[in-house]
């Protein structure tokens, strides 16, 4: 079992930055590929970024490419999402996720409870 706890959400003005963190429990963090997803009320949950077990490969949704960066620190059991040049349409609840499958499309085994990001115009 892996427990994921997100932090770092909040309210920021358009053009600003936020850094989300996701702390994972357990000793097997490096055996999971990780990802960040987001969901706006009334919409489906969508992938934001995913990262391989080593952290050497990452993929991004087109809507965030060039603005967001996913990274991980396996020694700290933590995955990060650096969000720059934020837009009002980035407003959503952001979820951390872990998969034992492929980093780019593996089914999610564990979800965090989410952290709210609000971008004001």
Whether 9 and 116 have beta carbons less than 8 Å apart is answered as yes
Using one digit for the tens of pLDDT, what is the confidence trace for 24-64?
A: 997 799 999 999 999 998 899 999 999 999 999 999 999 99
Whether 68 and 84 have beta carbons less than 8 Å apart is answered as yes
With cut-offs at 50, 70 and 90, classify the pLDDT of residue 5. very high
pLDDT score of 11: 98
pLDDT score of 8: 98
Q: What percent of the chain has pLDDT over 70?
A: 100
pLDDT at 112 over 90: yes
| Average pLDDT over the chain, rounded to an integer | 96
pLDDT at 1 over 90: no
- H or E segment at 100? none
Region 59-86 average pLDDT: 98
pLDDT score of 41: 84
pLDDT score of 26: 78
Whether 58 and 87 have beta carbons less than 8 Å apart is answered as no
Alpha carbons 108 and 58: distance in angstroms, whole number: 16
pLDDT at 80 over 90: yes
Instruction: Name 12's bridge partners.
Output: 119
């Amino acid at each position: 079992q892996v427990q994921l706890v997100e932090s770092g959400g909040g309210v920021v003005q358009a053009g600003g930055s936020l850094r989300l963190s996701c702390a994972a429990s357990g000793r097997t963090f490096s055996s999971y590929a990780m990802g960040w997803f987001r969901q706006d009320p009334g919409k489906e949950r969508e992938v934001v970024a995913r990262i391989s077990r080593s952290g050497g490969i990452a993929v991004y949704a087109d809507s965030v490419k060039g603005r967001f960066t996913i990274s991980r620190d396996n020694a700290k059991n933590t995955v990060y999402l650096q969000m720059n040049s934020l837009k009002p349409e980035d407003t959503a609840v952001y979820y951390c996720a872990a998969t034992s499958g492929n980093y780019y499309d593996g089914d999610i085994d564990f979800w965090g409870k989410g952290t709210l990001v609000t971008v004001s115009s």
